[in-house]
Structure formats: C-alpha cells, structure tokens
C-alpha cells in the first residue's frame, strides 16, 4: 500500500529532516510513528499526502510514485488519503454536519451523496447527536472526532493522523486512539504519529521509531513505545 524507499528530505534552509528512510506498510495495517519533536515524524507523513516531495528516493502509494504525480492529479491522491491534525482544523462558522460535508462539497458530491455519507461518518465517530453544534460548543475530543469524520467521509484507503492526541487529556486521548484502531480494523490503513507513550503501550500495534530523521527501530509484530 505505502512504500517508502531510500527517502531523504532536505528542507530549503538546509535542515535534513529525513535520511535514507525505508518503510513498507501493508493495506489495512495500523502503524505508530514515534519519536521526539523534530525527529521527522510529520515530514514522513507529509510525504504520503504529497505536501512534500522527497529530495531523494521514492514514495509509492498503491504502486504509484507520488513525487512524479502531475499537479492536476494531486487532488485525486488526496481524496484517497484522509488527514487529521493535533489542532483539528475545523471551520469555526460551520456546524458539525457542515464541517464534515465540506469534504464532500469540494469534490463535487451530489446532495443525495452528502445526505447518505455524512450521517454514516458521524455515526462512526459517535457524534450523530451533535450534528447541529458548532466547534466552539464541543470538547477537544469531540472536535477531533469531527475532524476524523471529515477525513473518513470520502472513504479513503489511508488515514494519516499527525499527533491526533497532542491537545487532549489522557482519557480522551485513549478514546480517540481506540476509535482510530476501530477504523483500522475496518480495513483502512492508519499511520499515527505520536509521542504519547501511554497510547502506544496500550494498543500494542506496529511501532516505527524515528531519531534524528532515521528509523532506529521497527517493531513489526507489535510493541511498546521503547521496548520491542
């Protein structure tokens, strides 16, 4: 599904964010990317939704080299990759329903499609009751659920989560990660960057550790934050 091969990323200011990374993720796999701030977690994820192109090496999604993708095909790739962030990135003047429907609006979904898909996505994240609420009326955990619903409403094959629990209390973090795990079990490939030790240790999924832009450990069979 995702194949990263000999990838190096050097930012224009000369910062070397990743050095010769190799990673292969199967369809439906759940992978934690762990490491300290600045270890290259976000950079690695940004390669997958083609926010960045590698300085060296290749990134293949379903066999297609994303760096070589013509500009006009980037949107097509992104419809197949849902992304969620630490800061939720919801639109404050739209309610829950509209925030989720926004992802369908911009790809030209019909009204009927919206009325079918938005309730399904909201049900999946357990927010059916709050579809009329505005972001400022929701807790952090609920806001992150809305952003997950928005990321999933186009049925992407891949879900990228960049520090999804960075702004949340431990209890709520655990709920969000459980939700991501459920989504993974339904067949979506999930890549979750985090430095939250508790959730990684709790879930026992595959863990890839980054230090200074290099992969130092890949616990394929499932592991904790530090130990294999």
Partner 1 sequence: MNLSMVEFLLQQTWQSIRRNGLMSLATSSNMTVALLILSAFFLATLNLEHMADVEARKANITVDLTEDADAGEVEAALLADMRVAETRYCPKEEAFEDTAVTMGLDPATLLDSLADNPLPNAIIAKPEDPQDMAAVAEAAGNIEGVAEVRYKEQITDKLLTLAHGIKVSGVVAGLLMAAATLLIVSTTIRLTIYARRREIRIMQLVGATNWFIRLPFILEGAFHGMMGGALSTVLVLAAYSWTNAYVDRHLGFLDLVYDTTFAVLFGLGALLCGVLFGVLGSLVGLHRYLRHI
Neighbouring CB atoms inside 10 A of 66's CB total 22
Give 19 or 86: the residue with its C-beta nearer to partner 1: 86
**H, E, C per residue of 52-121:** CCCCEEEEEECCEECCCCCHHHHHHHHHCEEEEECCCCCCCCCCHHHHHHHHHHCCCCCHHHHHHHHHHH
On the 0-12 / 13-18 / 19+ scale of CB atoms within 10 A, 76 is exposed
Least distance in angstroms from the C-beta of 20 to partner 1: 28
Give 102 or 134: the residue with its C-beta nearer to partner 1: 102
Give 152 or 203: the residue with its C-beta nearer to partner 1: 152
Select from 77, 102, 78 the least CA-distant residue to 89: 102
Least distance in angstroms from the C-beta of 192 to partner 1: 17
Select from 198, 186, 123, 192 the least CA-distant residue to 156: 186
Query: Where on the chain is the footprint of partner 1 (CB under 8 A)?
Result: 49, 71-72, 75-80, 83, 89, 91, 102-103, 105-111, 114, 150-151, 154
Least distance in angstroms from the C-beta of 111 to partner 1: 5
Least distance in angstroms from the C-beta of 103 to partner 1: 4
Give 108 or 187: the residue with its C-beta nearer to partner 1: 108
Least distance in angstroms from the C-beta of 6 to partner 1: 27
Give 59 or 109: the residue with its C-beta nearer to partner 1: 109
């Amino acid at each position: 599904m995702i194949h990263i091969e000999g990838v190096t990323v050097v930012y224009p200011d000369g910062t070397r964010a990743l050095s010769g990374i190799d990673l292969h993720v199967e369809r439906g796999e759940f992978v934690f990317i762990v490491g300290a701030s600045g270890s290259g977690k976000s950079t690695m994820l940004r390669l997958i939704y083609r926010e960045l192109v590698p300085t060296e090496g290749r990134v293949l999604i379903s066999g297609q080299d994303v760096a070589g993708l013509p500009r006009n095909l980037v949107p097509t790739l992104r419809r197949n990759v849902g992304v969620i962030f630490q800061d939720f990135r919801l639109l404050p003047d739209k309610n829950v329903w509209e925030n989720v429907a926004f992802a369908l609006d911009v790809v030209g979904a019909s009204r009927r499609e919206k009325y079918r898909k938005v309730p399904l996505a909201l049900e999946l994240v357990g927010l059916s009751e709050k579809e009329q609420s505005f972001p400022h009326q929701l807790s952090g955990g609920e806001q992150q659920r809305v952003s997950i619903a928005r990321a999933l409403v186009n049925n992407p094959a891949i879900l990228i989560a960049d520090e999804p629990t960075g702004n949340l209390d431990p209890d709520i973090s655990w709920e969000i990660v459980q939700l991501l795990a459920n989504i993974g079990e339904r067949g979506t490939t999930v890549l979750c960057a985090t430095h939250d030790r508790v959730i990684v240790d709790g879930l026992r999924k595959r863990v890839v550790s980054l230090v200074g832009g290099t992969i130092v450990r890949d616990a394929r069979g499932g592991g904790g934050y530090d130990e294999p």
